[in-house]
């Protein structure tokens, strides 16, 4: 079964999921084994690898994870340099909140032959950046403006457009290191209007925040920084996803 089919089946059955995002620049190579050992059976459903701007290649990180885990590993690429055949698949991100053609089709054209060559499972994902109180790496690197939380109508219309254009997932993102997650009312409104699995990431630092987002309608939560700083948080996330 493909990862996308598994996600869609779990969403139909009402199950919640969580993905672990690993940024090669933020997770020391020698801490990966420790992180998975500490997690024990409290594992995420999937591991995402990548970042808006990285100074280390992704392949050594993928190889280290594969030595200690059988979890599927998907690329979460901030650039073409982050594409690797070592991964199992890729979230093919369409930055539909912006108007930079490179992040809507340009990079995808260049990446497509490699994705086919490596036989990566590609999941078209409508990626929507939501504004916070400070500029994020995604905003700066992609040269796009995030959508304001004060315009839930535009955010919802953008999510619908992404779905109608064929994206199989919608990803609401506050950006790495965001001070707060996407507001729950925004999540609820997008979930009510759209029909594809909804991912929410960025700024999630507590079980209380995660539970609020799940209850609002998020099918999948992505956590990176909080687990990197506090590995025990991975158990909280697993317990929440399994018991809601």
Report the C-alpha dihedral over residues 204, 79, 111, 91, rounded to 10 degrees. 0
**How far, in Å, CA of 201 to CA of 207, rounded?**
14
Q: What is the reported pLDDT for 226?
A: 86
Average pLDDT estimate for 141-159: 96
Contacts of 179 (CB under 8 A, 6+ apart): 132, 133, 134, 203
- What phi and psi values does residue 37 have, to the nearest 5 degrees? -65, -40
Helices (H) and strands (E) in the chain, counts: 10, 8
* Cβ neighbour number for residue 33 with a 10 Å cutoff: 14
What does 130-162 look like in DSSP terms, one character per residue? Answer: B--SS--HHHHHHT-PPBPTT-HHHHHHHHHHH
Q: What is the reported pLDDT for 225?
A: 82
Q: What is the reported pLDDT for 218?
A: 98
With beta carbons less than 8 A apart as the criterion, state whether 193 and 159 touch.
yes
Task: Please state, for a pLDDT cut of 70, what percent of the chain lies above it.
Answer: 99
Residues 158-174 have pLDDT tens digits of 999 999 999 999 999 99
**How far, in Å, CA of 204 to CA of 89, rounded?**
24
Name which residue leads in pLDDT, 85 or 37: 85
Instruction: Say if residue 41's pLDDT is above 80.
Output: yes
Q: What is the reported pLDDT for 44?
A: 97
With beta carbons less than 8 A apart as the criterion, state whether 44 and 221 touch.
no
Residues 45-102 have pLDDT tens digits of 999 999 988 888 999 999 999 999 999 999 999 999 999 999 999 999 999 999 999 9
Residues 172-218 have pLDDT tens digits of 999 766 789 999 999 999 999 999 999 999 999 999 999 999 999 99
What does 158-220 look like in DSSP terms, one character per residue? Answer: HHHHHHHTT-SEEEEE--TT-SS---HHHHHHHHHH--S-EEEESS--SHHHHHHHHHHT-SE
Contacts of 122 (CB under 8 A, 6+ apart): 89, 90, 92, 115
Q: What is the CA radius of gyration of the chain?
A: 16
3-243 CATH? 3.20.20.390
Instruction: Say if residue 231's pLDDT is above 80.
Output: yes
With beta carbons less than 8 A apart as the criterion, state whether 189 and 218 touch.
no
Sequence length of the chain is 244
Domain boundaries, the chain: 3-243
Q: Give the mean pLDDT of the chain.
A: 94
Average pLDDT estimate for 1-12: 97
Residue with tokens 């304001």: 148
């Amino acid at each position: 079964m493909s990862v996308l089919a598994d996600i869609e089946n779990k969403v139909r059955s009402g199950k919640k999921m969580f993905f672990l995002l690993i940024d090669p620049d933020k997770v020391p190579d020698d801490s990966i084994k420790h992180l998975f050992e500490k997690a024990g059976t409290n594992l995420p459903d999937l591991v995402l690898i990548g970042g808006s701007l990285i100074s280390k290649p992704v392949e050594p990180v993928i190889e280290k994870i594969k030595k200690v885990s059988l979890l599927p590993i998907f690329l979460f690429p901030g650039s073409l340099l982050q594409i690797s055949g070592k991964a199992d698949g890729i979230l093919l991100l369409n930055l539909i909140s912006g108007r930079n053609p490179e992040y809507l089709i340009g990079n995808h054209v260049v990446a497509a032959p490699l994705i086919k060559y490596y036989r990566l499972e590609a999941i078209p994902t409508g990626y929507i950046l939501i504004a916070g109180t400070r500029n994020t790496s995604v905003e700066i690197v992609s040269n796009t403006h995030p959508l304001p939380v004060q315009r839930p109508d535009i955010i919802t219309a953008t999510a619908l457009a992404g779905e109608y254009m064929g994206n199989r997932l919608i990803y609401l993102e506050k950006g790495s290191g965001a001070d707060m997650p996407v507001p729950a009312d925004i999540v609820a409104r997008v979930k009510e209007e759209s029909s594809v699995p909804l991912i929410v990431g960025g700024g999630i630092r507590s079980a209380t925040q995660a539970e609020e987002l799940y209850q609002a309608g998020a099918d999948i939560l992505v956590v990176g920084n909080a687990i990197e700083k506090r590995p025990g948080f991975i158990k909280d996330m697993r317990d929440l996803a399994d018991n809601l």
